[in-house]
Amino acid sequence: MVKVKTITLDIPTKGDTDIINITGEVENALHEVKLKEGIVNISLVGSTGAITTIEYEPALVKDLKELLENLIPKQKRYCHDDTWGDANGYAHLRSSILGTSKTFPVCKGKISLGTWQQVALIDFDNRPRQRKVILQFVGE
């Protein structure tokens, strides 16, 4: 029998490509729902942020921020900005490339991540936000 459990996390962010390690929160939720075998989908609600994985250490976090700035510069003029006047076209584009959700296997009660792999929430928007992340656990 398949069981589905949903937990919502509310995470405050600083915006401006704030990268936050949420692995601990996901592991705590997994422990709470007592899922042994199945999957967890981690989904950010919104179109100016992303869910990804990274080795969460200061130098690599800095490298990722620099990479994103080089690919999709914050100071460039975007058509979205002209339409809405909110100067966050870059945030929408970065979100579109990285995506707002990831799914991972759960095996023997643990999320299957590599030794140096952590789950990260990235807020690209140009202001602080209260981000909602939905964790949906499926299995038994």
Tens of pLDDT, residue by residue over 73-129, are 999 999 998 898 899 999 999 999 999 999 999 999 999 999 999 999 999 999 999
pLDDT, residue 140, reads: 84
* Total number of domains constituting the chain: 1
Find the helix or strand (DSSP H, E) in which 87 lies. none
CA 127, 131, 137 angle in degrees (round to 5)?
A: 160
Pairing of strands 110-111, 3-13: unpaired
* 12-41 confidence digits (pLDDT tens): 999 999 999 999 999 999 999 999 999 999
Residue 134 in 3-state DSSP? strand
68 lies in which domain range? Answer: 3-139
Find the helix or strand (DSSP H, E) in which 85 lies. none
pLDDT, residue 2, reads: 63
Sequence letter at residue 67 = L
DSSP labels, 44-82: EESSSEEEEEE---HHHHHHHHHHHHHHS-TTS--HHHH
pLDDT, residue 1, reads: 58
pLDDT, residue 84, reads: 87
* Mean pLDDT computed over every residue of the chain: 96
50: phi > 0 → left, psi -120 to 50 → alpha, else beta; which?
Answer: beta
* 54-76 confidence digits (pLDDT tens): 999 999 999 999 999 999 999 99
Do residues 113 and 23 make contact, with C-beta atoms less than 8 angstroms apart? yes
Q: Alpha-carbon distance 14 to 16, whole Å?
A: 7
pLDDT, residue 127, reads: 96
Domain of residue 70, CATH code: 2.60.120.460
End-to-end, the C-alpha distance of the chain in Å comes to 7
